[in-house]
Amino acid sequence: MKIALAQQDYHIGNFKQNTSKIITSILEAKALGVDLIIFPELCISGYPPRDFLEYDHFIDECNNSVREIAEHCNGIAAIVGSPVRNPNNSGKLLYNAALFLAEGEIAFEYDKALLPDYDVFDEYRYFEPGKKFDVFKYKGKSIAITICEDLWNIGSEQLYTLHPMDEIMKQAPDVIINIAASPFHYEQAQLRKQLLSKNACKYKLPVFYVNQVGSQTELLFDGGSLVIDSNGRIIAEMAYFKEDFKVFELDSIIDHSIKSQVLQAHQPIELIKNALVMGIKDYFSKMGFRKAILGLSGGIDSAVVLALAAEALGKENVLSILLPSQFSSEHSVKDAIQLSENLGTNWHNVPIEDCYHAFENTLTSYFSETSFDLTEENIQARIRAVILMAFSNKFGYITLNTSNKSEAAVGYGTLYGDMCGGLSVIGDVYKTQVWQLAECINSEQEIIPNQIIEKPPSAELRPGQFDTDSLPNYDILDKILYNYIEKRKSLKEIIKLGIDEDVVQRVFKLVNNSEYKRFQSPPTLRISQKAFGMGRRMPIVANYKT
Amino acid sequence: MKIALAQQDYHIGNFKQNTSKIITSILEAKALGVDLIIFPELCISGYPPRDFLEYDHFIDECNNSVREIAEHCNGIAAIVGSPVRNPNNSGKLLYNAALFLAEGEIAFEYDKALLPDYDVFDEYRYFEPGKKFDVFKYKGKSIAITICEDLWNIGSEQLYTLHPMDEIMKQAPDVIINIAASPFHYEQAQLRKQLLSKNACKYKLPVFYVNQVGSQTELLFDGGSLVIDSNGRIIAEMAYFKEDFKVFELDSIIDHSIKSQVLQAHQPIELIKNALVMGIKDYFSKMGFRKAILGLSGGIDSAVVLALAAEALGKENVLSILLPSQFSSEHSVKDAIQLSENLGTNWHNVPIEDCYHAFENTLTSYFSETSFDLTEENIQARIRAVILMAFSNKFGYITLNTSNKSEAAVGYGTLYGDMCGGLSVIGDVYKTQVWQLAECINSEQEIIPNQIIEKPPSAELRPGQFDTDSLPNYDILDKILYNYIEKRKSLKEIIKLGIDEDVVQRVFKLVNNSEYKRFQSPPTLRISQKAFGMGRRMPIVANYKT
């Protein structure tokens, strides 16, 4: 049996486009003599459709698409993922289903049994867990169909009391198929390979794994679909961060006669860079945007975002605005211009001093007896936002936010100021990783001027200001943050890593007290196991002191 | 047996304060000869603790509090709600438990079986459903303990395949206790009474229902705890929007000898007003804030917010800033001043023209060939935000957002402009309801000047602008929005209500295309069945045309 894997990028709710993409692949596969073509989880609607699933007519559209696709399944079968209605009169209204389409109709339905409901996942919000565990016989083979999480309950921490494959094994399948929409983080590809390989070994069966690719607002899907033989050996690995299509002969995998074609492993920082570039690109293309704008300060954060945006959108589509104030150092403007020239991107220099003085004068009768403080720093940051957004409104640029994760964590940023933007590009990248990204971008030639990488970080909102005036060194800060946010360690555990108690306590307090700021942040491309946003849901009103 | 219900307001993660409040009530009840005192769901941590539940040390703190409280349970028993660890090695790590504390220890544990995971709820994210359905015998009575949602699977749409009380009935309980943290919306109290009464009738048992009260950021808890007899008759109804404590004799409820004491029903708009006042008050007190600031435009939205804030925080703690531009009508300033004088609140007049001209000059070389458009409108709104936030930063005022739900729905607002603020007070109140609120506020005397209520809505961002230039009349708009957002109706269904197809289509498109704006909105006090925010999770990148 010839099996094709179609690793594709879908546009949520764009039924016409998704359906047409799927049908095109089916016809292409049929022409190649393929017997079965497999598409990712919820390919019909795009993943995650979120609360659109609560709209009845959205489900009708899914059903219509499935019917239309089924009509093209003659002489070839296809497995597609779609929400389907739960016919029972109790339980959630939908199933997250894999549909086996053959002879023009739905020949078999498997409903996802393990519904992730942690981090960025909300599947139990919509779906009833499947409770039927049958194989489907096709061309002489017994096929076990599973969906993403169904194969993940195999590590040391078992989130579910059920193992769907244990149930399906009672019917002696010949092969496991897993359709997925498994979002990227920089340790995910490695983890995924281990877990799927563990499944192949446990059940002594080959595994065909098809993942979604592309970005859905914050969520990045890396693809990397896999074929694994019954010894747990990776036979084939599909492209990362782009669509791919491959055909396999099932028998050659069952009898181990096929040669393994594993891709070269990438460093985490390269994965992050590629993920962010795809994230920007796909966000713009799906939203129908073309041009981006950002404030270029001469610091490393905006430099890295500019380089990534230029790669994603083309240098002609990215405009930088230099927004110097009376507190900006001369080298900041010079470095920003140098970077723009290296990249070939356009820039404007729009000094903010006149606007600043206008606010100063407007407020003078109220503020005259106070001294320069955070207020005046924030006014500068907010004037910059007004100017960036004015360019955005006037000419249709989308503002890219340039804050990093370390800043977002401790609230080192101005709401409605440097925290503005349609998309946060590096809001899930710690400052120490931003430096690594800069090195990665410069790996072949000096694109980001070295003086940008080497200068001590400063917001330049008052004379002689440096980040370290109010924050610990970034290597210490990021270590605390990673352990608190990603690893959910306690104060005591982090102190044990050799960090001063006062520093840890101060950072914890800053993180907990900045929830209100992060609540109003732009959507942030997710590259870590625990990004701010929908994957980390903290109360704003709380008084928890670890 | 004497049973006390303690309807209390908790501070999430503030273990010291919550524990002390609970112990104080236990001692008070003991002095009154109470046998059993009942506290709401997750009273130990406050509800909803959200991802704090994923922190091991947070659960340790819960355990410590429970132990400390148990030590005070001698000669009296208490039921408290707390997260507890799941001792099994598979499944979610926690249970959402009701703990029966007696003789200094945990005498019985009931784990919530039905975990809401829709709208604002995420309980399956953290908790394993309980699977044990036992009664607990105390002072000669068999007590069925349930938690909130456990009793809700009784209407026409049954979200769960299980009925916990059906199971517990096998052990012939004498009474049903339900501890809850059931958030307010303006139809909820009515619904709750019906459902609990239905339970009492179905199982022929009295029901003691204890709800949390107070606000937790967006979520408002109205209290309204209930005692219902086995005929489904409401025996007692506790206070709405404030803490309450009441003692009942169980036998008098079982033998129907007690007189019913039902509170007078309130109109929905009064409930909304009371809920919003509590929401502001509790937000400020739990965050440790005292003073609020807002931009007073002379329009109805900011007028209503000012009146609510003055009631919640005291007139001396609310400052209004009038921010007129060259486009503001004279009556706007006059009306705003009149309102402030009626309320006795302080105000400053800070014209924005100079700042506006500074931006105009700064941008002139880039914008000179363009004409006045949305850009210049947004600049005005953003200047106002810069000024409000400057007062906020300089003097510690918290900015109240004054956008209404109709605007938020169609994106009729400026990001980083009038969409700024720490808390959105009326962001879940449709414009037509804002007018009702104004009438409600004016029910005894004219607080909000009539001319504010009667003038046609205008953003006053260009000469002669009215909301109806770009939006349908609010009565039509709100009808479409309510049916699309709260009722999840389709285009076709709404057209059938007698509204023009083009108008419905345009509104649908505005709503779907404004997701990116709402993503960055402040937290919004929730008063409806479907508020924007965590209860409505839509993808930003999507292309769904109903």
Q: Is the pLDDT of residue A527 over 90?
A: yes
pLDDT at A445: 96
Q: Is B217 on the interface with A (CB under 8 A)?
A: yes
Domain final position from B217, B234, B265: B265
Residue A546 pLDDT exceeds 70: no
Give the pLDDT confidence score for residue A330 in this predicted structure: 85
Average pLDDT for A363-368: 96
* Probe site for chain A from B281, B543, B546 (most A CB atoms < 10 A): B543
Sign of CA dihedral B417, B422, B426, B429: positive
Written as one string, the DSSP assignment of B320-339 is: EEE---TTS-HHHHHHHHHH
Q: What is the 3-state secondary structure (H, E, C) of B131-192?
A: CCCCCEEECCEEEEEEEHHHHCCCCCCECCCCCHHHHHHHHCCCEEEEEECCECCCCHHHHH
Question: Of B265, B281, B310, which residue constitutes the final position of a domain?
Answer: B265
- Is residue B535 a part of any domain in this protein? no
Please list the residues that pair with B145 across neighbouring strands: B177
Instruction: Find, among B15, B308, A438, A147, the residue nearest to B320 by Cα.
Output: B308
Angle at B80 between CA B77 and CA B86, to 5 degrees: 120
A258 and A278 housed in the same domain: no
Give the closest of B379, B393, B540 to A374, CB-based: B393
Q: Please, are residues B304 and B293 in contact by the beta-carbon 8 Å criterion? A: no
Q: Give the closest-approach CA distance of A29 to chain B in angstroms.
A: 27
Chain B residues close to A545, C-beta within 8 Å: 13
Q: What are phi and psi of A351, to 5 degrees?
A: -65, 145
pTM, two decimals, is 0.96
**Pairwise CA distance, residues A49 & B541, whole Å:** 10
Residue whose tokens read 């470095």: A335
Sorted by sequence, the CB contacts under 8 Å of residue A290 that are 6+ apart come out as: A284, A313, A317, A396
The parts of chain B modelled with pLDDT lower than 70 are 546
Residues A51/B538, Cβ–Cβ less than 8 Å: yes
Contacts of A124 in chain B (CB under 8 A): 117, 124
Same domain, A301 and A239: no
Task: Please judge whether B536 and A51 are an interchain contact, meaning their C-beta atoms are less than 8 angstroms apart.
Answer: yes
Residue pair A16/A45 in contact (Cβ under 8 Å)? The answer is no
Phi/psi at A264 (nearest 5 deg)? -70, 135
- Chain-chain contact of B490 with A55 (C-beta, under 8 angstroms): yes
Name which of B12, B359, B540 is nearest A541 (Cβ-Cβ). B12
Number of domains forming the structure of chain B: 2
Least-confidence region, from A285-289, A314-318, B462-466:
B462-466
CA of B484 to nearest chain A CA: how many angstroms apart?
A: 9
Q: What is the mean pLDDT of chain A?
A: 96
Measured between CB atoms, which of A46, A51, A386 is closest to B537?
A51
Side chain identity at residue A470, one-letter code: S
Helices A501-513 and A474-481, axial angle in degrees (round to 10)? 60
| Of B125, B351, B491, Cβ closest to residue A118 | B125
Residues 440-469 of chain B with CB under 8 A from chain A are: none
Q: Which residues of B touch A541 (CB under 8 A)?
A: 11-12, 215-217, 282-283, 286-287
- Judgement on whether residues B260 and B318 belong to the same structural domain of the protein: no
Segment A339-356 shows an average pLDDT of 98
Longest pairwise C-alpha distance within chain B:
86
* Cis amide linkage into residue B48, ω under 30° from 0: yes
What confidence score (pLDDT) does residue B546 get?
Answer: 62
Q: Do B389 and A50 touch (CB under 8 A)?
A: no
Mark whether B206 and B302 lie in a shared domain: no
For residue A284, pLDDT over 90 is answered with yes
**B289 with B173, same domain?**
no
- Shared domain for B190 and B288, answered yes or no, is no
Question: A440 an active-site residue?
Answer: no
Distances (CA, A) of A474 to A170, A424, A430, B372, B396: 54, 20, 9, 45, 29
The predicted structure's pLDDT at residue A79: 98
- The predicted pLDDT at position B266 comes to 84
Specify if A500 maps to a domain: no
Q: Taking CB atoms and an 8 Å limit, are A488 and B379 in contact across chains? A: no
Cα–Cα distance for residue pair A145/A135, rounded to 1 Å: 7
Mutate to test the interface with B, among A54, A321, A520, A529 (most CBs of B within 10 A): A520
B544 touches chain A (CB under 8 A): yes
Q: Which of B13, B358, B540 is opposite residue A523, by nearest beta carbon?
A: B540
A-B contacts at Cβ under 8 angstroms:
263
Is the same domain home to A143 and A280? Answer: no
The 10 Å Cβ neighbour count of residue A210 is: 31
Ranges of H-type helices in B38-158: 56-70
CATH number at residue A311: 3.40.50.620
**Alpha-carbon span B14 to B18, nearest angstrom:** 6
ipTM for the predicted complex: 0.96
Strands B36-38 and B292-295 turn out to be unpaired
Compute the nearest-CA separation of A349 from chain B (Å).
10
The residue range of the domain holding A166 is 2-265
**Which of A117, A391, A544 is closest, CB to CB, to B13?**
A544
Shared-domain flag, residues B117 and B172: yes
On whether both A349 and A236 belong to a single domain, the answer is no
Partners of B7 in the beta sheet?
Answer: B244
**Which residues 177-196 of chain B have a CB within 8 Å of chain A?**
none
Average pLDDT over every residue of A78-103: 97
- Are B286 and B356 in the same domain? yes
Do B234 and B104 fall into the same domain? yes
pLDDT band per the 50, 70, 90 thresholds, residue A59: very high
Q: Is residue B528 part of a domain?
A: no
From chain B, the residues in CB contact with A391 under 8 A are 366
Q: Distance between CA B329 and CA B327 in Å, rounded?
A: 6
Question: Which residue bears the tokens 């102190």?
Answer: A495
Interchain CB distance below 8 Å, B367 and A394 = yes
Domain containing residue B98: CATH number:
3.60.110.10
B50–A389 CB contact, under 8 Å? no
B249 CB within 8 Å of a chain A CB: no
Out of B201, B232, B265, a domain closes at: B265
Partner residue opposite B537 with nearest CB, options A122, A390, A516:
A122
B289 touches A at CB < 8 Å? no
Residue B48 to residue A394, Cβ atoms within 8 A: no
Residue of chain B whose alpha carbon sits nearest to that of A374: B393
Nearest CB to A362 within list B161, B350, B366: B350
Q: Which of residues 130-159 of B touch A (CB under 8 A)?
A: 153, 158-159
A513 in a domain, yes or no?
no
Residues of A in contact with B389 (CB under 8 A): 378, 382, 415-416
Q: Give how far B71 is from chain A: nearest CA, Å.
A: 23
In chain A, whose CA is at the least distance from the CA of B58? A546
Helices (H), A314-411: 330-343, 353-367, 374-395, 405-410
Q: Using CB atoms and an 8 Å cut-off, which of residues 49-78 of chain A contact chain B?
A: 49-52, 54-58
The answer to whether residue B541 is domain-embedded is no
B253 and B298, same domain (yes or no): no
Is the residue at B533 inside a domain? no
Q: Look up A41 and say whether it is catalytic.
A: yes
Residue A195 lies in a domain: yes
State how far the Cα of B302 lies from the Cα of B449, in Å rounded to an integer. Answer: 13
Question: Residue A156 pLDDT more than 80?
Answer: no
Q: Is A482 domain-assigned?
A: no
- Known catalytic residues of B are 41, 112, 148
